[in-house]
Protein backbone atom coordinates (compact mmCIF):
# COMPACT_ATOMS: atom_id res chain seq x y z
CA UNK A 1 0.00 0.00 0.00
CA UNK A 2 1.40 3.38 -1.00
CA UNK A 3 1.17 6.50 1.08
CA UNK A 4 -0.80 9.56 0.01
CA UNK A 5 0.32 11.37 -3.12
CA UNK A 6 2.38 14.54 -2.75
CA UNK A 7 0.19 17.60 -2.37
CA UNK A 8 0.89 21.27 -2.96
CA UNK A 9 1.81 22.82 0.42
CA UNK A 10 -0.64 25.67 -0.20
CA UNK A 11 -3.47 23.12 -0.37
CA UNK A 12 -2.36 21.58 2.92
CA UNK A 13 -2.23 25.05 4.51
CA UNK A 14 -5.71 25.84 3.17
CA UNK A 15 -7.07 22.61 4.66
CA UNK A 16 -5.51 23.42 8.04
CA UNK A 17 -7.11 26.87 7.91
CA UNK A 18 -10.57 25.25 7.94
CA UNK A 19 -9.91 23.06 10.99
CA UNK A 20 -11.08 24.03 14.44
CA UNK A 21 -9.01 21.78 16.70
CA UNK A 22 -5.40 20.79 17.14
CA UNK A 23 -6.49 17.13 17.17
CA UNK A 24 -8.06 17.47 13.71
CA UNK A 25 -4.89 19.04 12.34
CA UNK A 26 -2.70 16.40 13.91
CA UNK A 27 -4.84 13.60 12.49
CA UNK A 28 -4.83 15.24 9.05
CA UNK A 29 -1.06 15.69 8.91
CA UNK A 30 0.03 12.46 10.59
CA UNK A 31 -0.49 10.37 7.45
CA UNK A 32 1.43 12.80 5.23
CA UNK A 33 5.00 11.90 4.27
CA UNK A 34 7.74 13.84 6.05
CA UNK A 35 8.70 15.39 2.70
CA UNK A 36 5.25 17.02 2.43
CA UNK A 37 5.46 18.23 6.02
CA UNK A 38 8.85 19.86 5.42
CA UNK A 39 7.53 21.56 2.27
CA UNK A 40 4.50 22.77 4.23
CA UNK A 41 6.73 24.10 7.02
CA UNK A 42 8.80 26.01 4.46
CA UNK A 43 5.62 27.35 2.83
CA UNK A 44 4.47 28.59 6.25
CA UNK A 45 7.84 30.25 6.87
CA UNK A 46 8.79 27.95 9.74
CA UNK A 47 12.54 27.63 10.18
CA UNK A 48 14.93 25.46 12.17
CA UNK A 49 12.88 22.28 11.90
CA UNK A 50 15.39 20.15 9.99
CA UNK A 51 16.32 17.80 12.81
CA UNK A 52 12.83 17.17 14.13
CA UNK A 53 11.13 13.80 14.05
CA UNK A 54 7.91 13.58 12.05
CA UNK A 55 5.64 13.76 15.14
CA UNK A 56 7.46 16.86 16.38
CA UNK A 57 7.20 18.44 12.94
CA UNK A 58 3.44 17.81 12.89
CA UNK A 59 3.12 19.37 16.34
CA UNK A 60 5.06 22.49 15.33
CA UNK A 61 3.00 22.95 12.16
CA UNK A 62 -0.28 22.50 14.02
CA UNK A 63 0.83 24.93 16.74
CA UNK A 64 1.84 27.51 14.13
CA UNK A 65 -1.47 27.27 12.27
CA UNK A 66 -4.48 25.97 14.18
CA UNK A 67 -2.92 26.51 17.60
CA UNK A 68 -1.98 30.10 16.82
CA UNK A 69 -5.49 30.83 15.55
CA UNK A 70 -7.14 29.22 18.61
CA UNK A 71 -4.83 31.06 21.01
CA UNK A 72 -5.49 34.39 19.27
CA UNK A 73 -9.25 33.85 19.43
CA UNK A 74 -9.09 32.98 23.13
CA UNK A 75 -7.05 36.10 23.89
CA UNK A 76 -9.48 38.35 22.01
CA UNK A 77 -12.37 37.00 24.11
CA UNK A 78 -10.75 38.09 27.38
**For the CA atoms of the chain, what is the radius of gyration?**
13
**Segment 27-37, tens digit of pLDDT:** 999 999 999 99
- The share of the chain scoring above pLDDT 70, in percent, equals 78
* pTM of the predicted structure, to 2 decimals: 0.80
Domain boundaries, the chain: 9-76
CB-based contact 60:52 (threshold 8 Å): yes
**Segment 8-30, tens digit of pLDDT:** 999 999 999 999 899 999 999 99
**Segment 39-66, tens digit of pLDDT:** 999 999 999 988 999 999 999 999 999 8
Amino acid sequence: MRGPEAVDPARLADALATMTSRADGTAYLSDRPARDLRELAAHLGLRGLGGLRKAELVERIVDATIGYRLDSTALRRR
